[in-house]
Amino acid sequence: MTEFAEAMNDTATRTVTLDRPLVRGEQTLETIQVRRPKAGELRGLNLRSLSELDYAALETLLPRITTPMLTKQDVAELDPSDLMQMGTEVVDFLLPKRIRAALPQA
């Protein structure tokens, strides 16, 4: 696999395992896929607000980039730790490669 393909594979989609599963009627969501947003999906949003994990910005963006698609009501029902997990994935997606490369690896 090429370096570019590895980088895209590594960062295109992330799976977030919820600390507290989200219940929608009879469906229970234990994991959510969060994918790298495209520029158009950031419309109407302030990048600084996203980088600060602003709730309103995440509430708008997450329905655009999650599978299964979260609604605004779903976002409101998330445990704060789960919202934080998804928000940190979003922030990581927004960082340039050179900055991510300089960060310590977990």
Write the DSSP string, 22-37.
EEETTEEEEEEEEEPP
Predicted pLDDT of residue 103: 77
| Confidence (pLDDT) at 11 | 65
**Looking at 8-12, 85-89, 90-94, which range is the least confident one?**
8-12
Q: Residue 106: pLDDT band by 50, 70, 90 thresholds?
A: low
- Terminal-residue alpha carbon distance, the chain: 23
* pLDDT tens digits, 3-60: 443 444 456 899 999 999 999 999 999 999 999 999 999 999 999 999 999 999 999 9
Nearest to 64 by CA among 89, 85, 35: 35
Q: Exposure string (b/e) for 71-89, b if CB count within 10 Å is 16 or more?
A: eeebbeebeeebbebbbeb
Total-model pTM: 0.84
For residue 63, the SS3 value is helix
| pLDDT of 85 above 80 | yes
